[in-house]
């Protein structure tokens, strides 16, 4: 069990301290200073500050948080809802789990600040069902907030500032991390994403005006309010300020979490993780979770921020960095990747449901040494027929990593077809 990152920064400074998971401890370590400053401002000023901070969502898409908040209707005769997305399921990503387990009050304080800014009365905090420890930590934290009247009516003595938080457990479906899939799931339905428009701000959870943000995104907000926009913009890059918890896994000496400024070069991130295990050579790195295209070892200088990674044909995603050493068979990687997306496709759109099945079948066939030139050509074609053709971004997420593997490691695929077997005897087992 990880209790704190190997490299800490403002977000995770106190994660190693059990007292930080209690309200008294959290306040003693500076907690709720951000909320106090927020309620001294008009709600729209808080949204403006978050806009000015440049905070981008940490759930994978990197959308501007303050802008998202501004989409919420100013006045509404219906209840306004916040949904905190703690459904972390992106393979290679394990930061939200630590944030919820070790810093639950950071998330809840961020939620309360956003509730003040948007005039929302209710939050549904949707946590993936497998994260039982996180659910326990958050439920306990919510209870403590109630006891201290930091939830309920007239919070911090502000008339009309009324809020409640419901922790809601998911039940094991990757697609529920997609914001409208999550909303369907929250409503007690299959987690099949919705067509947009209407967008959640108009028609969200239970048809109510809704804003969905990732839990890490909320956790940054108290620091922006307390320490100021200029302070926040002083770390990270101009377009991607602040830190994130990079999760490094796979073939490194020291897998784990590292809270580093966005824009930290990939080489430095890997250095913190002790480099490739056993002094072996690096073969490839997936920089942003399983959905994001792989990078070859020639790209280690890239700063880990969206604006730089997108120039390299990939994305920051959730900052889940998966490292593969020279032993790895990239056709096996494609087989694991394609199995996952076939398994998790919600089945709603034909291009995705059928495409993910075809891609997996082809990867498997090639991996087993039964693939032909025609199969390899088809594997090149199918992802392009899925990308951008469906209701949600899942099909893109299924297509991109396969395209990345074919772009940078085509030799591995061709060798399987030519030799009619896997030429990497040392590779991890399937």
3-state secondary structure the chain: CCCCCCECCCCCCCCCCHHHHCHHHHHHCCCCHHHHHHHCCCHHHHHHHHHHHCCECCCCCCCEHHHHHHCCCCCCCCCCEEEEEECCCCCCCCHHHHHHHHCHHHHHHHHHHHHHHHCCCEEEEEECCCCHHHHHHHHHHHHHHHHCCCCECCHHHCCCCCEEEEEEECCCCHHHHCHHHHHHHHCCCCCCCCCCCCCCCCCCHHHCCEEEEEHHHHHHHHHHHHHCHHHHHCCECCCCECEEEEEEEECECCCEEEEEECCCEHHHHHHHCCCEHHHCCEEEEECCCCCCCCECHHHCCCECCHHHHHHHCCCCCCCEEEEEECCCCHHHHHHHHHHHHHHHCCCCCHHHHHHHHHHHHHHHHHHCCCCCHHHHHHHHHHHHHHCCCCCCCHHHHHHHHHHHHHHHCHHHHHHHHHHCCCCCCCCCCC
Q: Does 166 bind other proteins (CB under 8 A)?
A: yes
Q: How far apart are CA 138 and CA 31, in angstroms?
A: 16
Site string for other proteins, 219-258 (x = CB under 8 A): ----------------------------xxxxx---xxx-
User: Is residue 181 at the binding interface for other proteins, with CB under 8 A as the rule?
Assistant: no
Question: To 10 degrees, what angle do helices 104-118 and 215-227 make?
Answer: 80
The encoded tokens of residue 44 equal 């729209």
Q: Which of residues 300-339 bind other proteins (CB under 8 A)?
A: 320, 322-324, 328, 333, 336-337
Residue 37 binds other proteins, judged by CB under 8 A: no
371 forms part of the interface with other proteins (CB under 8 A): no
Total chain residues near other proteins (CB under 8 A): 61
**Span of 14-22, 201-209, 212-220, 368-376 interacting with other proteins by CB under 8 A:** 201-209
Rule CB under 8 A: is residue 156 a binding residue for other proteins? no
| Stretch of residues binding other proteins (CB under 8 A), selected from 146-154, 171-179, 226-234, 356-364 | 171-179
From the list 19-27, 47-55, 122-130, 210-218, the region that binds other proteins by CB under 8 A is 122-130
Provide the minimum distance between the beta carbon of 286 and other proteins in the complex, in angstroms, as a whole number: 8
Name the minimum Å distance from CB 344 to other proteins: 7
Task: Using alpha carbons, list the distances in angstroms from residue 106 to 60, 319, 403.
Answer: 20, 20, 38
Judged by CB under 8 A, does residue 185 bind other proteins?
yes
For residues 263 to 302, the per-residue mask of contacts with other proteins, x marking binding by CB under 8 A and - elsewhere, is -----------------------x---x------------
Q: Does 357 bind other proteins (CB under 8 A)?
A: no
Taking CB under 8 A as the criterion, the residue among 13, 130, 396, 414 binding other proteins is 130
Please identify which residue in 66, 91, 204, 209 interacts with other proteins, judged by CB under 8 A. Answer: 91
User: Would you give the binding string for other proteins spanning residues 68-87, x where CB under 8 A is met?
Assistant: -----------x--------
Query: Which residue, 8 or 168, is less far from other proteins as judged by CB?
Result: 168
Q: Which is nearer to other proteins, 157 or 425 (CB)?
A: 425
Binding of other proteins at residue 189 (CB under 8 A)?
A: yes
Smallest distance, other proteins to C-beta of residue 39, A: 25
Determine which residue in the list 25, 129, 271, 274 makes contact with other proteins, applying CB under 8 A: 129
Residues interacting with other proteins, by CB under 8 A?
Answer: 1-2, 79, 88-94, 96-97, 128-133, 166, 168-174, 185-191, 205-206, 208, 247-251, 255-257, 286, 290, 320, 322-324, 328, 333, 336-337, 340, 343-344, 346, 428-430
């Amino acid at each position: 069990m990880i209790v704190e990152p190997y490299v800490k920064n403002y977000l995770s400074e106190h994660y190693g301290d059990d007292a930080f998971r209690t309200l008294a401890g959290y306040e003693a370590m500076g907690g709720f200073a951000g909320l106090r400053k927020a309620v001294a401002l008009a709600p729209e000023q808080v949204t403006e500050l978050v806009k000015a901070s440049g905070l981008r969502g940490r759930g994978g898409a990197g959308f501007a948080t303050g802008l998202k908040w501004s989409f919420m209707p100013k006045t509404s005769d219906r209840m306004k809802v916040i949904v905190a997305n703690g459904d972390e399921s992106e393979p290679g990503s394990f930061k939200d789990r630590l944030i919820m387990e070790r810093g639950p009050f950071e998330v809840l304080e961020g939620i309360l600040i956003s509730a003040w800014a948007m005039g929302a009365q209710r939050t549904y905090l949707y946590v993936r069902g497998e994260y039982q420890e996180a659910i326990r930590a958050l439920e306990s934290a919510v209870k403590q907030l109630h006891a201290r009247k930091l939830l309920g009516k007239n919070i911090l003595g502000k008339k009309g500032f009324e809020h409640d938080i419901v922790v809601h457990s998911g039940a094991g479906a990757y697609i529920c991390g997609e914001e409208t899939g999550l909303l369907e799931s929250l409503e007690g339905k299959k987690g099949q994403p919705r067509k947009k428009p209407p967008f959640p701000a108009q028609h969200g959870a239970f048809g109510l005006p809704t804003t969905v943000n990732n839990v890490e995104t909320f956790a940054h907000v108290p620091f922006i309010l307390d320490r100021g926009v200029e302070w926040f913009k002083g770390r990270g890059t101009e377009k991607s300020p602040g830190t994130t918890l990079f999760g490094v896994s796979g073939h490194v000496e020291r897998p784990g979490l590292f809270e580093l400024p966005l824009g930290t070069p990939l080489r430095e991130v890997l250095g913190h993780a002790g480099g490739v295990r056993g002094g072996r050579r690096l073969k490839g790195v997936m920089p942003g979770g399983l959905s994001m295209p792989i990078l070859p070892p020639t790209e280690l200088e890239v700063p880990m921020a969206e604006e730089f990674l997108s120039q390299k044909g990939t994305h920051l995603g959730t900052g889940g960095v998966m490292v593969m050493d020279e032993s790895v068979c990239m056709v096996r990687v494609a087989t694991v990747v394609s199995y996952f997306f076939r398994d998790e496709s919600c089945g709603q759109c034909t291009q995705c449901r059928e495409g993910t099945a075809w891609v997996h079948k082809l990867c498997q066939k090639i991996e087993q040494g039964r693939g032909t030139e025609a199969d390899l050509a088809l594997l090149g074609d199918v992802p392009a027929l899925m990308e951008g053709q469906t209701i949600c971004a899942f099909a893109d997420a299924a297509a991109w990593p396969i395209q990345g593997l074919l772009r940078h490691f085509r030799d591995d695929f061709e060798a399987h077809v030519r030799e009619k077997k896997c030429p990497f005897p040392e590779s991890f087992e399937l």
